[in-house]
Structure 1
Amino acid sequence: MANNIRTKQALIIVAIVLLTGFLFTRPIKGLVKPKEEAAKPAAMADQTATAQPSLEEISSTAKNLISSASSKEITVLENTYKGASGAEKLAEAQKLAQKWEDLEQPAPSALYLEVVANGESSLANWLNAGNRFLKAFDNTQDSLLQPNMLQKANNAFTKALALDSTSLDAKTGLGITIVNGLGAPMQGIVMLREVVEKDPKNLKANMNLGMFAIKSGQFDKAIVRFNNIISQIKATPDAYFYLATAYESLGQNKEAIDAYLNSKKLAANPTLSSFIDKKVAELKNKR
């Protein structure tokens, strides 16, 4: 039984890793056992306290991931930003945030959005920064940068909620950061459930509740959640993918195959398609 559980968890982790980068809502970072989950917030906090890379360091690292021409464009914008002040500096920070986002580098983009939010504190600015920090948290494989991005997302959503305590977007974002390590997971789940109670068709909150159900091994609940998302909110490739993962974990291979194929059809991503083709072949051989 223990081996079967570990095998299912391994399959889920592999599937989620493959999904990251193809799809656009929050993925689960991995499966954590209850004792590990309890210890995770403290470990995450310790890492965040010791790892505070500067904007310059993060931008320098990101420049190594883009073309030489794009790097030169960024440098020109950075020089203009450094020489500006007041409202002009914030405008230049916004330009840099957008440029980095266009180049698919969310970490430096998020840091510039944080500059904008600190300069002009508004609900929209803090939500933009928080969402971009979550995206950076999702996309980075840097174990030191991850907790930093998550902490900054938490801070941004906390400030957004302070400006508008009724903001469901702020509460959703804050709940996601808590579930992922900045507090007791159930505290974050309660926040997400409160969002869904007020807005039953909130895609982000529902997706994260479904993903947490998978993470905690509650596959039946995950299946109900993702089927509801698909039928009542939006049939997305990631919703189908997680649905397939939950079905597969319960040994319901026919249902898993159907869901995987729907994910492939909607995503139209060559890498994901290749993975799903192999997965479907494996599941057919088990029938």
Structure 2
Amino acid sequence: MNKTRSKQIIIIGAVALLSVFLFTRDIKGLVKPKQATTGVPAGGQLTSAGSTINLTEVSTAAKNSINANLAAEITTLENAYNTASDDEKNNAAKVLAEKWDDVEQTVPSALYLEIIAAREKNLNSWLAAGGRLMKAFDNTQDSLISPVLLQKANTAYTNAVALDSTNLEAKTGLGVTIVNGMGAPMSGIAMLLDVVKKDPKNLKANMSLGTFAIKSGQFDKAITRFNDIIAIKPSPDAYFYLATAYENLGKNKEAVDAYLNSKKLAANATLSNFIDKKVKELNTKN
């Protein structure tokens, strides 16, 4: 197995493990750019790249995965939303979005926030929708709805930037969606670099730049980026990505230290077992 192939395997393995163990942002593979849409579909039926998400189906699936009493409570809220007057619709949707988020079902929560944003058409609503849609995109393992969520997050942030081109949260969100596949990656990188120039401690922009550096094999840049992130706010995922970058450069001692810091901060039994094995493996190479 050649060195390049070995590095690719290390990256892929690290990404998969991080998404499973830490439930934080994984390195999404860069995909072919898609034509962005400018409008927001009506609530309930969302389409992108030939795929659809039906809000009723999403809700049913989500309710099947939570406590029966909570599911019944949500059904009551949904009935209230469906029968609400036009003036009451937004408040009913906000209650549902919050309740779905409380039970960690981000997809239906995001769809309700998008409905609200499409009705209110203000900056804060688009930012809220974009943030929740990206959270859903990060968390979902469904390859059919993932591109739909990314597309819709891109649309939400595009609308936010149109309302305020100086808003760093909007620009960061838009840049992240572009880097993840909604356009030419370098245009997203340029946007994120502009955000970091104006706000050097912007964790979201820095994290996206760091993960892109790993994905593109720029491990030295990734190390610098993640060390900067850790200096601002240490986190298990930042240390894990840092360890991955060090490992790809053959800096095993530094990789071990970073993995152990990730283990310490995450306090996750499964991750701890993985890191123990990884540390043992790397120490034998020193």
Task: Say whether the fold is shared (TM-score over 0.5).
Answer: yes
Pairing 1:251–2:250 present: yes
Asked if the contact 2:49/2:147 (under 8 Å) is kept, the reply is: no
Letter in 1 for 2:196: V
Q: Is the 8 A contact 1:237 1:264 kept in 2?
A: yes
Q: TM-score, normalised by structure 2?
A: 0.91
Cα distance between partner residues in 2 of 1:52 and 1:228: 40
Q: Aligned partners of 1:285 and 1:92: how far apart in 2?
A: 58
Q: Secondary structure of 1:165's match?
A: coil
Residue-by-residue CA offset, 1:158-197 (whole Å, 9 max, x unaligned): 1111111111100010011111111000010000001011
Partner residue of 2:26? 27
* Structure 2: distance between partners of 1:279 and 1:127: 39
The corresponding residue for 1:85 is: 85
Kindly tell me: are residues 61 and 44 of structure 1, through their superposed partners in 2, closer, same or farther at Cα, counting changes over 3 Å? farther
Q: How does 1:114-133 map to 2 (within 5 A)?
A: 114-133=114-133
Bigger helix share: 1
Structure 2, gaps ≥5 residues long = 38-46
1:193-219 per-position Cα deviation (integer Å, ceiling 9, x unaligned) = 010111111110011101100000000
- Kindly indicate whether residue 33 of structure 2 is the aligned counterpart of residue 41 of structure 1: yes
Corresponding residue SS for 1:220: helix
SS in 1 for 2:49: helix
Could you list the per-position Cα deviations for residues 43-71 of structure 1 after superposition, in whole angstroms to 9, with x for gaps in the alignment? 999x9231121211211222222222222
**Structure 1 ranges of 4+ moved more than 6 A:** none
What is the rounded CA distance, in whole Å, between the counterparts of 2:35 and 2:114 in structure 1? Answer: 24
TM-score if structure 1 supplies the norm length? Answer: 0.91
1:222 partner letter: A
Greater shift after overlay, 177-186 or 120-129?
A: 120-129
Question: Which residue of structure 2 aligns with residue 7 of structure 1?
Answer: 6
Q: Distance in 1 between matches of 2:183 and 2:269?
A: 37
- Between stretches 89-98 and 266-275, larger displacement belongs to 266-275
Cα distance in 1, alignment partners of residues 65 and 3 from structure 2: 39
Q: Does 1:272 align with 2:255?
A: no
Match of residue 100 from structure 2:
100
**Are residues 1:59 and 2:59 paired?**
yes
Does 1:260 pair with 2:259? yes
Residue in 1 aligned with 2:145? 145
Counterpart in the other structure of 1:225: 225
Distance 1:274 1:43, change over 3 A: farther
Question: What SS does structure 2 have at the residue aligned with 1:20?
Answer: helix
Displacement of 1:42 after TM fit? Answer: 4.0
Residues 180-191 of structure 1: pairs in structure 2 closer than 5 A: 180-191=180-191
SS in 2 for 1:92: helix
Q: Distance in 1 between matches of 2:221 and 2:236?
A: 19
Residue 43 and residue 154 in structure 1: after superposition, are their counterparts in 2 closer, same or farther (change >3 A)?
closer
Partner of 2:216: 216
Distance in 1 between residues matched to 2:281 and 2:64, nearest whole Å: 38
- Mean CA deviation greater in 87-96 or 168-177: 87-96
Between the two proteins, the alignment pairs up a number of residues equal to: 277
CA contact (8 A) 1:206 1:225 kept: yes
Q: The residue matched to 2:76 in structure 1 has which SS?
A: helix
Partner of 2:40: none
CA contact (8 A) 1:48 1:144 kept: no
Query: What value does the CA root-mean-square deviation take over the aligned residues?
Result: 1.9
Deviations 1:76-133 (A, max 9, x none): 1100110112342211111111111111111100000111112222211111110111
SS of the residue corresponding to residue 29 of structure 1 reads coil
Q: 2 CA distance for matches of 1:103 and 1:6?
A: 40
